[in-house]
Amino acid sequence: MIGGRDDIERAFTALGGRVPDRYDVEEGQDTFPALPREADVVFYGGTFEGAPLVRHMREQGSTRLLATGDGCWDLADFLRPAGRAATEGEGTLVLSATPQLGEVKGSSEFAERYERRHGPVNNYAVNSYDAARMLLDAVAAGGDREGTAAALRGQRFQGIAYRSPSAWDDRGDNVATVTALHVVDDGRFRQVAEYPAAAPE
């Protein structure tokens, strides 16, 4: 598997876990080898092949949990084609880099406005909206290329993707970001945890 595999393995083994096997998954692959029987959970770090993988697991009688990164936080390419397989057995855990709609003030209202004009929002729509607003503000403030870059680096922007204002650390990372954990429940993603945890309101 790809995308996050090494990080997951390092963290898991540091906590005393053991990884019985690793597999590479090719783009477009829809058949998979038999998974180790002693594995308690299967971690998949890719994207579009997550749906056929979880269907394969259930067809082979595996009830084990499938854990994935944000590559599978996708309605069209994971949730819908996976169907019931994503909820059977121990189900599926999916990470995302933004809380679900409604967790951050203004995100539900944005989704409602968008859906009236364009249909249902896709995952990361709120991040894209915030990013576009930040860039437009920086262009207006900066005037030229260098000024725009400086204005963007210096921004502190309260959007609808995160509870805290977006700002950049010395490495260029957004200090407001969080990781959310979802289960698949009744044909939708349902957030069950957030790290760092949201402060009580």
- Are 87 and 186 members of one domain? yes
- Are 15 and 93 members of one domain? yes
CATH number at residue 76: 3.40.50.2300
3-state secondary structure of 43: strand
Cα→Cα distances 130→102, 113, 133, 155, 166, Å = 15, 15, 5, 12, 9
- Are 108 and 79 members of one domain? no
DSSP 45-76: --STTHHHHHHHHHHTT--PEEEE-GGG--II
- End-to-end C-alpha distance for the chain, whole angstroms: 39
Q: Are strands 41-44 and 179-185 parallel, antiparallel or unpaired?
A: unpaired
Q: Per the domain annotation, does 114 fall within a domain?
A: yes
- Are 159 and 138 members of one domain? yes
- Are 91 and 183 members of one domain? yes
Q: Which residues are paired to 179 by β-bridges?
A: 195
Domain that holds residue 68: 5-97+178-195
pLDDT, one tens digit per residue, over 56-84 is 999 999 999 999 999 999 999 999 999 99
Please report the pLDDT score of residue 1 as a whole number: 35
- Are 87 and 44 members of one domain? yes
* 154/138 Cα distance (integer angstroms): 9
Q: Per the domain annotation, does 200 fall within a domain?
A: no
pLDDT, one tens digit per residue, over 136-158 is 999 999 989 999 999 999 999 99
User: Mean pLDDT for each 10-residue chunk of the chain (201 residues)?
Assistant: 68 90 88 84 92 95 93 93 96 94 95 92 90 95 94 94 94 93 94 83 56
Q: How many structural domains are present in the chain?
A: 2
- Are 10 and 74 members of one domain? yes
Is the distance from CB of 78 to CB of 161 less than 8 angstroms?
no
- Are 67 and 10 members of one domain? yes
* 18/46 Cα distance (integer angstroms): 21
